[in-house]
Structures are given as C-alpha cells and as structure tokens.
Amino acid sequence: MISLCKFLTERHYELLSLADDNQQAINDYTLRGKVYIYEEQGQTIGIVVGLLTRPNTLELVNLAVDPQFQNKGIGRQLIEHIITVGKELDCHTITVGTGNSGIGQLKLYQQAGFRMKSIDIDYFIKYYKDPIFENGIQCKDMVRLELEI
C-alpha cells in the first residue's frame, strides 16, 4: 500500500540514503516535495519523493526499495504512483535524474516509459564529497530522463 508520509522516521531516512547519500540534499527535497511510502504488513519497504520543479513538471527526486524486496515490482508501483500524482497536479512531464552507473535504475525508468533527455557531465564529482561506484563503474554523470504524460 502506498500512502503520503506525514513525518520522516529513521527508517525513511535509511531508505532514502540507499538512493542518495547526500543528507543535506535529502533534507532539502523532502521538505519541499511530497514523500510517499510503500508498506506491507506495517513495514515500510519503499519510498519515493516527488517535487514540483517548474510549471507542469514533477521531478522524481528519490526512489528506493529495501534490497530484500527489490525485483518484485515495488519500484515500478512507486513510479506509477508518482505518474498518477503528476496527472492529478496537471503536470505534462515527469523528470528523473540517475547516475550513469545505475544500470538497474536506467532499465527501470526506461521500462516505465522514460526517455533519456540530457546528461549533466561530472554532476556526482562536483556535488558529492566521496566517489560513488556501482556495477564496477564510477558514477560521474547525471543522466536525465523524461516522461510525457
């Protein structure tokens, strides 16, 4: 079940940190955006944050699922929820940015209909203190994707 999160707990921050280890950024976008949680049997196992960034555009700024529950369609359900929220807000576009090394994330977003729009070269080198590695690749660039709704 997906619901609006009224206040963030330690568990929520734990999940958000799976997708973004920049605590300052997490604090900023969770204050400005809407946080939705996915729960099963009273346990929070997924989280997504949507943020209006410009007229008629909703950005999916964080999506995370507990590793024990990944590959079960929960991420896809959270994406579909953000798309529904975007439609309710009369948005025309949903955007998302993810690292160049996030092969699974790039696959998930493209399977949901997102298309690559642009690349922010060296984004993760400029804005993150420590190097990030995923899938044996250094995460350097932010790949921006969009979905027209």
Hey, what domains does the chain have and what are their CATH numbers? Answer: 2-148 (3.40.630.30)
DSSP class of 70: T
Q: Which residue has the higher pLDDT, 23 or 141?
A: 141
**pLDDT tens, residue by residue, 26-85:** 999 999 999 999 999 999 999 999 999 998 999 999 999 999 999 999 999 999 999 999
pLDDT score recorded for residue 22: 87
pLDDT score recorded for residue 21: 85
Greatest CA separation for the chain? 42
Say how far apart CA 104 and CA 49 lie, in whole Å.
19
pLDDT score recorded for residue 43: 96
**Residue at 77: amino acid letter:** Q
pLDDT band at 129 (very low <50, low <70, confident <90, very high): confident
| Six-digit token string for 2 | 């997906």
Contacts with 129 (C-beta within 8 Å, 6 or more apart), sequence order = none
